[in-house]
Structure formats: C-alpha cells, structure tokens
Structure 1
C-alpha cells in the first residue's frame, strides 16, 4: 500500500462526511451506500450533520468507498482498522483527526491503555513531540479520570 493511498485514506477518514446525514442529499439505495451509512453511524454515533459541509461527490466517495468498502473488509477487525488509523494519524501529527478517531476507538471498545501504548510505540518512529501532542489530544478526548466501560 503506497504512502499516497494511506494519506488519502486517512484524510478521507479525518474529514468525514458529516453533511452526508443531512436531508439535503438525495436518498441513496445502493448496497455500498447503505453499508457505508451503517458503518459511519457505528463509528460516529450522535454525529452532528451540520458540523462540516463537503462537496456531494466527496461525500459519496466517503460514504460509499471509505465506509462502504474500506472499513467493511474482513481481513482485519474493526478494532484493528481503528488502531491502524489512529497510529497513522499519530505518526502524521494530525491532532484534529486524532480527536475524531480516538473517540471512534473508544466508541468501539478499544481500551485507553491500547491507545497509550500505540502512541508510545509510534513515538520511537515518528518522534517524541508527535507523541506528546497525541497524549494531549487523547487526554482532551478521553480524560484519565473518567470511568471506563468494561
């Protein structure tokens, strides 16, 4: 998998198609669209449809390809996909997108301790400042004093 493809995947994940849930879009009935919408709903419960407006074509790519295909694969688990996405965002120091995907990780049952370990591991490859920024972001999204669900 090329760096360019990974970057496109990560940016697509990060931007998200919040407005894809608004009433302005035509109702799609394709299987990929339905699967994509279901996955987006699972990853981002309580999504604010007015949070970000994207061009309709990019919304379609995000829902149908990213969430309807890429996040649907069976070769690795949903949690593994989430951890891979978080690791890439950590390495690229994309703190805005980390906020989104650290919350996704939490939503799908990944323990905070795993994210902490991923950040510490990536620090040795991407740099200490990247890890420090990521820990600040994780603490903003998931404070250490919060009770976790087991």
Structure 2
C-alpha cells in the first residue's frame, strides 16, 4: 500500500484548528482508501463526483473535478457523467454541478 504524503486542501483550510481531521484526510482517506487497488483512481474520482452531486454537496466538487482530470477523466466525460446524473440525482443538482464544472474548466483557458 502506498502511504506517501498527499497534499490536501484540508491542511490549508483546517490544519491550525483540526490537525486530526487533516491527518485522517491525508493518511486514511487519500492515503489508504483512495490507494486501494480494487478500483482505479479514475473510477474513484467518478464515484466521488457522483456521490457529491447526488448529495447536493457542491462545496467539495471543484476540488474533485480537478482531481478527476488528474486521474484521467477528461472534460467531455465529466460533463457526460453530470448530465447522466441529472436523471438520477435531480436536475437542479446536476445543473449546479455543471456550473461548478464550467468554472473549473475555465480556469485552464
């Protein structure tokens, strides 16, 4: 199992007040859970984005869209996934997610 240190926004956001939360994020979530071999990083990104959209949790979505691109998903695939989710997670949630995706994708232009 690869236990390399993962840079996280949690450290920047919460490191001063919640160091244990940061440690769990870096070592357990992104160190152990995300590194399990049964699913690829690409698959884990797609599942995570789907769960965030289904739950209406757009606060973490921009981070995970960027990570998904690093993990091999392209913008067309991500938009297709968000469009597909509209029928299962709800139109407003998908529309909000597509707005976040638009903002993330425009960062690179």
Whether TM exceeds 0.5 here: the answer is yes
Q: Which residue of 1 aligns with 2:63?
A: 100
Deviations 1:56-86 (A, max 9, x none): 2212211221112100111111100011101
Give the TM-score normalised by the residue count of structure 1. 0.63
Task: Provide the rounded CA distance (Å) in 1 between the counterparts of 2:75 and 2:30.
Answer: 24
Q: Does 1:129 align with 2:97?
A: no
Report the counterpart of residue 52 of structure 1 in structure 2. 13
How high is the TM-score relative to the length of structure 2?
A: 0.84
Number of the residue aligned with 1:81: 44
Gaps of 5+ in 1: 1-31
Runs of 4+ in 1 over 3 A off after TM superposition: none
Distance 1:135 1:102 in 2: 10
Structure number with bigger Rg:
1
Distance 1:145 1:128 in 2: 26
Contact 1:119 1:135 in 2 (8 A): yes
C-alpha distance in 2, partners of 1:101/1:145?
Answer: 15
- The residue number in structure 1 matching 2:3 is 35
C-alpha distance in 1 between matches for 2:50 and 2:106: 19
Which structure has greater helix proportion? 2
User: What is the CA-CA distance between 1:144 and the residue it aligns to?
Assistant: 9.6
Q: Is the 8 A contact 2:10 2:22 kept in 1?
A: no
Q: Does 1:90 align with 2:58?
A: no
- Extract unaligned runs of 5+ from structure 2: none
In the alignment of these two chains, the number of paired residues is: 107
**Cα RMSD after superposing both structures:** 2.4
